């Protein structure tokens, strides 16, 4: 029997970490890689909703991500804050509790998820943690859980966007249109 594997991606954590890379990250390749390498059938990406990025959201959905969007607030400097961490934890816990998936791939380097990882390990639901950050920048709290960790930065040959290289696709993805979960229609 094939396991039903879901990925839960902290979109801000992934975005901020890949800005540090010295190469262009390809989100389409990442989605296909998740499917091929970890058998991810559904990849939830949690993001702050900023109206001027609707074209980006549409593109991510076309690439196979299920977006979970949350309205942003702005700090005193005008920087947007999505604060999606709690939403990601609730979705993972709900899916684990309701047995909506067999295994979970978490994409983040944020130590705030350490207690979630501990719970998932205890329930034998955790497949792997994919850290977008370099090993020295991945939270020590996550490392202490004993979860298997792979580093996105080690996958440059697979995930780098190269001009003229055709996109990889194993199938045509369709994003979710469920607005009842805060997912972009």
Return the structure tokens found at 184.
Answer: 């972009």
As a whole number of angstroms, the distance between CA 150 and CA 8 comes to 15
| Confidence at residue 81, expressed as pLDDT on a 0 to 100 scale | 83
- 183 has a pLDDT exceeding 70: no
Q: How far is CA 91 from CA 18, 75, 112, 155, in A?
A: 24, 26, 15, 27
pLDDT tens for 7-51 read 999 999 999 999 888 889 999 999 999 999 999 999 999 999 999
Write down the pTM of the prediction.
0.88
Rg (CA), the chain: 16
pLDDT of 180 > 60? The answer is: no
Query: Across the strands, what pairs with 5?
Result: 40, 103
Per-residue pLDDT, 168: 64
Taking 80 as the threshold, does the pLDDT of residue 111 lie above it?
A: yes
67-102: pLDDT as tens digits: 999 998 889 998 888 789 999 999 999 999 999 999
The one-character DSSP state at 79 is: -
Q: Quick one: pLDDT at residue 155?
A: 92
pLDDT digits (tens, 9 = 90+) for 112-158: 999 999 999 999 999 999 999 889 999 999 999 999 999 999 998 89
Burial readout 81-118 (b: 16 or more C-beta within 10 A, e: otherwise): ebebbebbbebbeebbeeeebbbbbbbbbbbbbbebbb
**CA-wise closest residue to 176 among 45, 19, 54:** 45
Is the pLDDT at 104 greater than 90? The verdict is yes
**End-to-end alpha-carbon separation of the chain, Å?**
32
Angle value at C-alpha 54, between 164 and 7, nearest 5 degrees? 75
Q: Judge whether residue 172 has pLDDT over 70.
A: no
Sequence-separated (6 or more) residues with CB below 8 Å from residue 75: 81
């Amino acid at each position: 029997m094939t396991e039903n594997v879901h990925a839960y991606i902290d979109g801000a954590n992934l975005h901020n970490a890949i800005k540090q890379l010295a190469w262009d990250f390809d989100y389409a390749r990442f989605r296909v890689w998740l499917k091929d390498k970890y058998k991810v059938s559904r990849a939830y990406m949690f993001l702050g909703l900023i109206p001027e990025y609707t074209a980006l959201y549409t593109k991510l959905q076309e690439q196979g991500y299920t977006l979970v969007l949350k309205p942003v607030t702005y700090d005193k400097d005008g920087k947007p804050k999505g604060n999606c961490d709690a939403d990601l934890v609730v979705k993972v816990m709900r899916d684990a509790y309701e047995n909506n998936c067999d295994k979970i791939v978490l994409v983040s380097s944020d130590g705030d998820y350490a207690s979630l990882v501990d719970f998932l390990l205890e329930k034998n639901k955790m497949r792997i943690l994919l850290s977008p950050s370099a090993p020295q920048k991945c939270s020590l709290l996550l490392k202490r859980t004993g979860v298997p960790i792979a580093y996105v930065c080690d996958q440059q040959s697979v995930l780098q966007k190269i001009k003229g290289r055709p996109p990889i696709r194993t199938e045509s993805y369709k994003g979710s249109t469920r607005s009842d979960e805060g997912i972009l229609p």
